[in-house]
Structure 1
Amino acid sequence: MKDGPDIARIANLVGDPARANMLTALMAGGALTASELALEAGVTVQTTSSHLAKLMEGGLLTLAAQGRHRYYGLASPQVAGMLESIMGVAASVGPKRTRPGPRDATMREARICYDHLAGDHAVAMLDGFLERGILSRDGDRIEMGKKGPGYFEAVGIDPRGLTTGRRPVCRACLDWSVRRSHLAGTLGAAIYDKILAEKWARRDSESRAVIFSPRGRQAFAKAFLPAA
């Protein structure tokens, strides 16, 4: 085998349909029990335990114990970004399916991608940041632009608090429904937290959709989108 990362091992872990369903369910950023993941995957709890052991061994999941319960979550934002990118490729070249219904239209408009906003709104937001020099981009690398610190302070996000550990402040994440990038990293997470804190939008209880109220949509556009 050639030197370098073993992508075949990771591809094998993600490529199993049951494991893919479990990982997709965890894209909402929360943690689920084995029983909950079994329902998502459509397999028995016993089979789920085998899949979870493989995903844990492969470094794609973390495990936390709370009382008698054991909760599984994605190991890192990097894993979430990988999954979102795979979804984008699958949407572009994979088998064509019947166009999703209204709930999926809502998912395309706005949804959570681990801990940041994805969908039409998120892609438009990143495009606007780049156009206005709030962020700058060099290939796949995104950084804070000269106008960035003052802009984010004005909307209530402290840029000095975004540098935490090894996670980047800004990162491009391929959006599966738009097939262009939205904003991840600690800045993307901080913007999503602000959206929820201001009650501009709420999480749908049955999917990854983020549903904006009419007032919230206007407030989000005023804060984060270019003026029309």
Structure 2
Amino acid sequence: MDVNPNMALVAAIISDKTRSKMIFIMLDGRFHSASELAYMAGIKPQTATFHLKKMTEAQIIKVEKQGRHKYFGIKDPGVASVLETFLSIAPQFEVRSLKKSPRDKALRSARTCYDHLAGNLGVKLVSALEKKGVLVKENDKYEVTNEGIEFLATLQINIYELKKKRRSFSHKCLDWSERKHHMGGALGNAIFEKILEFGWIKRLPNTRAIKITTLGEEHIPKIFNIDL
């Protein structure tokens, strides 16, 4: 059987500790400058540039240019989903630093997985939508029921428009911290964007962690019937 040699290339790229740190940062779904990634990964800018070139050549990340500046991010949702799966099968790491412990707790509580919600909040939302009869599991994806169409409309989400997008509609995404599924795809992104727009959650700087706001503490349990 013929084997695609590029599989080994990708494996070699993500096996490097420094590159895996940078990939973890970019899984927030945003684009970052080389200097930002260097600072967040704790490396020199020249080192970051070297690794970014390797990852770009392997087509794991892509570059956006704004004038003289370059910004780097994960290539697409499919790549992000595969990378998140690697995290889910990797052995859990022990947090020994007091400084890292609050960061780890925040990431496990709620975070972005590329462009959708993950962590405890992401898993709870999907579970709640299943219990409400909004979603049903079908193999490796979720389908929206007729009741679900009406419910999502109350959140200003039109699934017919989402299905026109050239991407997965609502696939299962294995969560690395919960070891259960949250939801990716166009629908997962739409729900994330809406509750962000409503002010129920907010992004935190220099991290993938998401904070539930006071408004969110009031509305999320009421709308989704979950205990925060």
TM-score by length of 2: 0.89
Which amino acid counterpart does residue 11 of structure 2 have in structure 1?
A
Q: Distance in 2 between matches of 1:185 and 1:225?
A: 23
Residue equivalent to 2:146: 146
Residue equivalent to 1:98: 96
Residue equivalent to 1:166: 166
Residues 115 and 5 (structure 1 numbering): CA distance in 2 closer, same or farther, change over 3 Å?
A: farther
Q: Distance in 1 between matches of 2:41 and 2:102?
A: 23
Q: Distance in 2 between matches of 1:127 and 1:184?
A: 14
Q: Distance in 1 between matches of 2:57 and 2:113?
A: 23
| Residue 27, structure 1, aligned to residue 27, structure 2 | yes
| Residues 40, 206 of structure 2: 8 Å contact kept | no
Which amino acid counterpart does residue 207 of structure 2 have in structure 1?
S
| Residues 77, 114 of structure 1: 8 Å contact kept | yes
Residues 196 and 95 (structure 1 numbering): CA distance in 2 closer, same or farther, change over 3 Å?
A: closer
Deviation at 1:195, TM superposition (A): 1.2
Residue equivalent to 1:176: 176
| Residues 174, 180 of structure 1: 8 Å contact kept | yes
| Residues 141, 171 of structure 1: 8 Å contact kept | yes
Q: Distance in 2 between matches of 1:50 and 1:102?
A: 31
| Residues 142, 171 of structure 2: 8 Å contact kept | yes
Residues 198 and 37 (structure 1 numbering): CA distance in 2 closer, same or farther, change over 3 Å?
A: same
Q: What count of residue pairs does the alignment treat as equivalent?
A: 226
Deviation at 1:64, TM superposition (A): 1.1
Which amino acid counterpart does residue 86 of structure 2 have in structure 1?
I
| Deviation per residue, 1:129-187 (Å, 9 max, x gap) | 22333112123222222322111012221222212432111011111110111011111
Q: Distance in 1 between matches of 2:41 and 2:58?
A: 18
Q: Secondary structure at the match of 2:31?
A: coil
**Can you give the 5+ residue segments of structure 2 that lack an aligned partner in the other structure?**
none
Q: Distance in 2 between matches of 1:118 and 1:61?
A: 21
Percent identity, please.
35
Q: Distance in 2 between matches of 1:163 and 1:56?
A: 29
Residues 144 and 78 (structure 1 numbering): CA distance in 2 closer, same or farther, change over 3 Å?
A: same
| Deviation per residue, 1:93-121 (Å, 9 max, x gap) | 35544385233222211111111111111
Residues 131 and 2 (structure 1 numbering): CA distance in 2 closer, same or farther, change over 3 Å?
A: farther
Q: Secondary structure at the match of 2:165?
A: coil
Q: Distance in 2 between matches of 1:139 and 1:97?
A: 35
Which amino acid counterpart does residue 153 of structure 2 have in structure 1?
E
Which amino acid counterpart does residue 152 of structure 2 have in structure 1?
F
Deviation at 1:4, TM superposition (A): 5.3
| Residue 58, structure 1, aligned to residue 64, structure 2 | no
Q: Distance in 2 between matches of 1:177 and 1:63?
A: 29
| 1:1-228 equivalence runs, <5 A | 2-3=2-3, 6-90=6-90, 93-94=91-92, 96-98=94-96, 101-225=101-225
Deviation at 1:216, TM superposition (A): 1.1
